[in-house]
Chain A
Amino acid sequence: MKVIAISSSAQTIFNFLFSASWAIYIGGALIMAIVWKPLQKGLAPQQTAVLCEKMGEKYKWVALSSLSVIGISWILLGLSDHEFFRSGSLGIKGVTYLQGAIGAVCWVGLVVVVMLMGVKLHPNSHKRASLKDAELSLEEMKLRRRKSIKKMDLLLKAELSIALIAVFTLAWSQAISK
């Protein structure tokens, strides 16, 4: 059973958008963790701050655009051709339902993490002193910034872990659907 009917060419395009967006999103997260993070140790703090600010701003938009495309193409692919809507055993349906649920939870988790990092923590860690902060001492400002950076590191690890679980779920669903 198909909830919506689309041609196989359209399915190919949706699957291409889904796969390419996943690859771009996860590849970006991996590069940040494997290449950029260790590099920071050998850099002067001012340069790290400049690079972090510029890269973080772009990464946020790349990540959010990719996650949006993943969400839209996934829904369209799911509605047009998903094991769950085909006639089959209850066991297979149960597994595909579980995979879909894990995928959806991962996707929501990733959107929340990226939004938290991009909208709250990243701007906080690069905030310059303003008149509103005049009453705060320099030490307090530094402490606040350090806290944001620590939370960012934690969220980056969470992001990568969720993304790897999502890839595993995708691999699992592809492996049993063939």
Chain B
Amino acid sequence: MTATWIRIVASYLHLLAVAVYLGGSVAMEFIMGPAQKFIPPAQAQVIGQKSADKFLILVWSALVVFPISGMLLFFGIQDQSVVSGTQFFTTTYGRTLFAMMFLWLVLVINGAIITFIYRPRLNQKASSKGGGAGVQANLEAQIQAAKKVSLITRIDLGVALFIVLLGASMVYGNGIL
């Protein structure tokens, strides 16, 4: 059993991480993103890059906090035998917890794809290499990358909402899977 104050701190961090990830994604995608259409494109791109860079730091911090605070919370529950051994896969509680872990992994993979594949493409400066066709190709690649980032962000948002539903089912029952 974990001490009460450790459970309070873990729960606080866990809730804040959920807020940063879920609420942050909603704010970035549905509040900040659409507002950028009302300013010149060059400025919108600069703002988009700067805000996304900061948001990615918050996202990765949240993704790191989830398993640590989650584990501390798990050690705080009275009946840990519900997920010991094979019960991890045979009980509703165990399966729900496993699904949450799996979906967390999906969020980490999607986060890595955005951070290491699409963000560098979006941050690329326009160069005159290859002439007009090169600039055009670069611009096309950036537009495609922006579309993919938006798609992955929305998928992540759905996944995060499902994780919250799974978490909610564990508070008032034994899970839903």
Q: Which residues of A contact B (CB under 8 A)?
A: 8-9, 11-13, 15-16, 18-20, 22-32, 34-36, 38-39, 42-44, 47, 50-51, 54-55, 58-59, 62, 81, 167-168, 170-172, 174-176, 178
Contacts and interface: CB of A to CB of B under 8 A. Distances in A.
B8 interface: yes
Given A11-B172, A25-B19, A58-B30, 12 more contacts: A27-B20, A27-B27, A29-B23, A31-B27, A31-B58, A34-B58, A47-B40, A51-B38, A58-B35, A81-B172, A175-B10, A176-B7
Nearest to B6: A175
Task: Sort A-B residue pairs by CB-CB distance and give the 5 closest, nearest first.
Answer: A27-B23, A171-B11, A171-B12, A175-B7, A54-B35
A19 B164 contact: yes
Interface stretch (B43-51, B82-90, B122-130, B138-146): B43-51
Interface of B: 4, 7-12, 14-16, 18-28, 30-32, 34-36, 38-40, 43, 47, 50-51, 54-55, 58, 76-78, 161, 164-165, 167-169, 171-173, 176
Contacts of B26: 24, 27-28, 62
Nearest to B36: A51
A174 B11 CA distance: 7
A29 B23 CA distance: 8
B81 to A, nearest CB: 15
Given A27-B27, A36-B32, A50 B22 contact: no
A20 B22 contact: yes
Contact of A32 (B27, B43, B58, B169): B27
Contacts, number: 152
B23 A23 contact: yes
A39 B47 contact: yes
A51 B22 CA distance: 22
A170 B23 contact: no
Contact of B39 (A42, A50, A170): A50
B51 A16 contact: no
B172 A12 contact: yes
B164 A16 contact: yes
A30 B20 contact: yes
A87 to B, nearest CB: 19
Contacts of A20: 22, 161, 164
Contacts of B18: 19, 23
A51 B50 CA distance: 15
A116 to B, nearest CB: 19
Contacts of B171: 12, 15, 174
B23 A28 contact: yes
B172 A27 contact: no
B31 A35 contact: no
A58 B27 CA distance: 9
B30 A12 contact: no
A11 B172 CA distance: 6
B158 to A, nearest CB: 12
Contacts of A43: 43, 47
Contacts of A42: 50
